[in-house]
């Protein structure tokens, strides 16, 4: 007699046993993921609350400091401040003008001391070339050419008359030597602010 095989597709184990096995195998990893998600969510909420509170604190500080600044401004008199600013700007303008002011009288005194008795100047012009240079031009008469050479030597050694150039040497109708002189003057030496008794 042939043996009979009994085949059945119904599992011998009960459904409750299968469910408990599934819980043991996969349930643990799902719990860890949920825990991590909860921690991240709580961290995000805590960060948002902290940022909001910090922003509120900053706004309160800015408001307080603005009020303090307004009180300090109102403590000063605006009219007085404007008047002081106007006086300060006028003082600065006057100082700038005074620093550039020259005293031609100092130059004339120096020329008087430097000019030989046998030489006289008939013409004079002064031109400000730049802030640090003034040019002068003169026409002179000397007894002879030797006097012109001596005068050139004296001007060449002077501190106030710089780069003297003698030109147009000639004799006039009286037989005297006539010449032209151009030179530069350092404005610092005849500056009103830097005035000293001995310039040359």
* Residue 127: inside a domain: yes
DSSP character for 155? Answer: H
State residue 157 phi and psi, 5-degree precision.
-95, -5
Whole-angstrom CA distances from 77 to 74, 96, 187 are 7, 29, 43
Give the model's confidence band at 27: pLDDT under 50 very low, under 70 low, under 90 confident, else very high.
Answer: low
State residue 143 phi and psi, 5-degree precision.
-60, -40
Query: Is residue 193 within 8 Å of 186, Cβ to Cβ?
Result: no
* Residue 162: inside a domain: yes
* Residue 176: inside a domain: yes
* Residue 139: inside a domain: yes
* Residue 60: inside a domain: no
Output 8 or 131, whichever has higher pLDDT.
131
* Residue 49: inside a domain: no
Please state, in angstroms and rounded to a whole number, the distance separating the CA atoms of residues 55 and 50.
Answer: 9
CATH number of 146's domain:
3.30.70.2830
Q: What is the pLDDT of residue 10?
A: 57
Rounded percentage of the chain residues whose pLDDT exceeds 90: 10
Model confidence at 200: pLDDT above 50: no
What is the extent of the structural domain holding 145? 102-190
Residues 6+ apart with CB under 8 A from 160: 107, 110, 114, 185, 186, 189, 190, 199, 200
Give the model's confidence band at 199: pLDDT under 50 very low, under 70 low, under 90 confident, else very high.
Answer: very low
76-109 in b/e burial notation, b at 16+ Cβ within 10 A?
A: eeeeeeeeeeeeeeeeeeeeeeeeeebbeebbeb
pTM above 0.85, yes or no: no
Q: For residue 106, which of 36, 41, 188 has the smallest C-alpha distance?
A: 188
Instruction: Give the count of domains, the chain.
Output: 1
* Residue 110: inside a domain: yes
* Residue 117: inside a domain: yes
Q: What integer best gives the mean pLDDT of the chain? A: 79
Give the model's confidence band at 139: pLDDT under 50 very low, under 70 low, under 90 confident, else very high.
Answer: very high
């Amino acid at each position: 007699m042939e043996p009979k095989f009994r085949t059945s597709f119904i599992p011998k184990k009960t459904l409750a046993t299968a469910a408990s096995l599934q819980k043991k195998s996969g349930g643990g990893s799902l719990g860890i993921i949920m825990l991590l998600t909860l921690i991240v969510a709580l961290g995000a909420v805590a960060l948002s609350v902290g940022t909001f509170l910090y922003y509120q604190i900053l706004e309160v500080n800015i408001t307080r400091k603005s009020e303090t600044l307004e009180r300090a401004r109102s403590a000063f008199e605006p009219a007085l401040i404007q008047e002081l600013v106007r006086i300060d700007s006028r003082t600065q303008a006057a100082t700038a003008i005074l620093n550039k002011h020259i005293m031609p009288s100092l130059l004339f005194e120096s020329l008087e001391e430097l000019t030989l008795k046998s030489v006289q100047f008939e013409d004079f012009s002064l031109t400000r070339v730049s802030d640090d240079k003034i040019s002068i031009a003169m026409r002179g008469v000397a007894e002879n050419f030797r006097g012109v050479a001596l005068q050139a030597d004296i001007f060449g050694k002077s501190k106030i008359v710089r780069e003297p150039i003698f030109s147009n040497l000639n004799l006039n109708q009286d037989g005297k030597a006539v010449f032209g002189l151009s030179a530069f003057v350092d404005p610092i030496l005849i500056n009103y602010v830097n005035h000293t008794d001995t310039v040359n």
